[in-house]
Amino acid sequence: MFRNWITLTGAVIMLASLFAFLLLFTIDLFAHFGNPYVGILTFFVAPAFLIFGLALAIGGALWERRAIRRAGSAAPPLEIDLSHPRDRRILAYFAGGAALFLLFTAMGSYHTYHFTESTTFCGQACHQVMKPEMVTYQQGPHARVSCTACHIGPGATWFVRSKLSGTYQVYATLQKKYPRPIPTPIKNLRPAQETCEQCHWPKKFVGNLDRTFTYYLSDESNTVHTIRMLMKVGGADPTHGPVGGIHWHMNVGNRVEYYATDATRQKIPWVRLIDPQGVVREYRSPGFTNEIRKADIRVMDCMDCHNRPAHVFETPSDAVNLAMSLGSIDPTLPSIKANAVHALVQPYETETEGLQQIATILNGRYPDGTKDPRVAKAIAAVQQIYRDNFFPEMKADWRAYPDNISHKNWLGCLRCHDGKHVTADGKEMIKANDCNACHIILAQGSGDDLTKLDIHGQEFKHPGDELSPGDICHDCHTGE
C-alpha cells in the first residue's frame, strides 16, 4: 500500500521539511537577535509542509488500497510476527520514529507557542501595520515588557481569545483590510487589574513627584521657559499612606464609573462615584439628562489616565522642546522651534517624502545653512523625531492618539474635572481652575527664577497671553 508515487512524494516532503525545521530551529536557537521571518519559517511554514507531506503519504496509501480493492484482489492482510527478526526490526524502527516525531512535535508546539507570544512576532511580523506601536514601544518605559503582558495577560481564556482574534488580524493584514490608523482605545481590552496590576501594586503610596517641564516659545529667540511642579500623586490605600491625591481614583477603595459619548472616550458627560462605604454620587454635565444603560458604563482603571504607557506619540512641540533642551537642536538657531514644528506637521504621504521635505523646508528657511553646522545637525534631529513619532503610511501620529495623562494638549483630566460636572444637589468635582488641587508650581520662568522655590505653590504665569478663569488649555494648545 505504501509503495506508490504519491506516498513516496509525501515521505520525501516530510523528511525535507523535518530537516528544514531542525536546521532553522538550530539557527533560531543560536541567533542573538529575534528575526520574525526565521520564526515564521520555522514554526509555521516547515510544520505546514510536514503535515502536508503526512497527508499526502496517507492519502496515497488509501488511494492505492482502493485501487487494489477495485482490481478485485483483497487488500494484503496485515501480519506481524514478532518471531521474525525482520518484523521485530521494522517495529523497533517504527516505535523509535514515532517517539522522535512526538518529541519534535511537542518541542515544536512549545516553541511555536512562545514564538507567537514574542515581541518579535507581535511587533515585527506584520511590520508595516505594527510599526507605529513597535517603534514607540521601543522608546517607552515598557520597552522590556512583552506586548502580551499588557495585551493578553495570564490565563487560558484570554490566550484562546487572543489567538482567535489574532487569526483574523493575520487575515486582515494579508488582505490589507486593516484600518489606518488602528483605532484607539482598543475595544474589550483586558482590565488593568489583570494586566498592569500584575506588575504594579495598586496599593503603593507614590506621594509627591517632582517634575520639570522645559519649553521653547515660537519667537525668533526661542525663549526658554521652565516649569517645575510637584505632582500630588498620593495613593489610595489607608494602610500605606494617607488616602488622597491623583491616585485616589485607583480601584482599591473607590469605584469611579463613567459614560463616554464618543468612541475615543474624550467626551464624558456622566460620572458616578461609589465610595468604600457604598455612598453613591452621580455627576452630570449641564444639559445631559439621558438615562445610562448599564452596558455603556465603564469602570475607571489605570488606562483611563495612563492610556499611553507603552506607545507615546510625542507631540511635535514636546519632541522639539526635548531635542532643544538636550542640545541636539541648537536653541541659538533663530526661530528653530517654530520652523522645526512647522516642518514636522505638514501632510506627507510616506516617511521618505516626509524626511526629504523636512530637509527641503529647513534648508529653505536657512539659506546660508551649508556654512552653518547647526543647520545640518538640526535637520538630522528633526528627521529623527519624524522617524520616531510620525508614521504617514499608517496615518499614525499624535493627532490620532490622544494622551489622557495631562490637560494641556488634550482634555485629559478635564474630561471630568472641567468644573461643569455637578451632582443633583449642586456638589462639584475638583475644578479645572483650582490649579493647586493636583500639583503645585515650585518654580517657573528661566535663569534665576528657577532657584526661587515656593513650597506653597506659585501662581501660574502663562508664557503666552494672560488667561481668564475658565479658559481650557486644550482650546489653544493642540501639540503643534
CA–CA separation, 179 vs 129, rounded Å?
9
Instruction: Tell me how crowded residue 8 is: count the other CB atoms within 10 A of its CB.
Output: 14
Binders in 258-287 for ligand HEC, by CB under 6 A: 258, 268, 271, 273
- By CB under 6 A, tell whether 119 contacts ligand HEC: yes
- By CB under 6 A, tell whether 320 contacts ligand HEC: no
CA–CA separation, 383 vs 376, rounded Å?
11
CA–CA separation, 260 vs 268, rounded Å?
4
From the CB of 403, what's the least distance to ligand HEC, in Å?
8
Q: How far is CA 480 from the centre of its chain?
A: 23
From the CB of 289, what's the least distance to ligand HEC, in Å?
19
Confirm if 363 and 375 have CB atoms less than 8 A apart: yes
- By CB under 6 A, tell whether 450 contacts ligand HEC: no
- By CB under 6 A, tell whether 464 contacts ligand HEC: yes
- By CB under 6 A, tell whether 300 contacts ligand HEC: yes
From the CB of 5, what's the least distance to ligand HEC, in Å?
46
Distances (CA, A) of 147 to 58, 183, 223: 40, 17, 40
Return all residues near 265 (Cβ < 8 A) that are at least 6 apart: 185, 298, 304, 415
Q: Which is nearer to ligand HEC, 151 or 395 (CB)?
A: 151
Residues binding ligand HEC: what is the number (CB under 6 A)? 92
With b meaning 16 or more CB within 10 Å and e meaning fewer, what string describes 458-471?
beeeeeeeeeeeee
Among 361, 405, 422, 443, binds ligand HEC (CB under 6 A): 405
Q: Is the dihedral of CA 227, 302, 395, 313 positive or negative?
A: positive
Q: Which is nearer to ligand HEC, 365 or 408 (CB)?
A: 408
Among 18, 50, 57, 130, binds ligand HEC (CB under 6 A): 130
Using the contact rule CB under 6 A, the part of the chain among 83-91, 295-303, 322-330, 383-391 near ligand HEC is 295-303
- By CB under 6 A, tell whether 28 contacts ligand HEC: no
- By CB under 6 A, tell whether 180 contacts ligand HEC: no
Confirm if 265 and 185 have CB atoms less than 8 A apart: yes
- Give residue for cell 507605529: 132
Binders in 409-448 for ligand HEC, by CB under 6 A: 412-413, 415-417, 429-430, 432-435, 437-439
From the CB of 29, what's the least distance to ligand HEC, in Å?
22
Ranges of beta strands (E only) in 157-279 are 207-216, 224-234, 255-259, 270-274
First and final C-alpha spacing in the chain? 74
Using the contact rule CB under 6 A, the part of the chain among 83-91, 149-157, 288-296, 361-369 near ligand HEC is 149-157
CA–CA separation, 383 vs 333, rounded Å?
17
Beta bridge mates, 230: 210, 440
Among 21, 137, 270, 390, binds ligand HEC (CB under 6 A): 137
Among 145, 274, 299, 322, binds ligand HEC (CB under 6 A): 145
Among 284, 311, 365, 420, binds ligand HEC (CB under 6 A): 311
- By CB under 6 A, tell whether 397 contacts ligand HEC: no
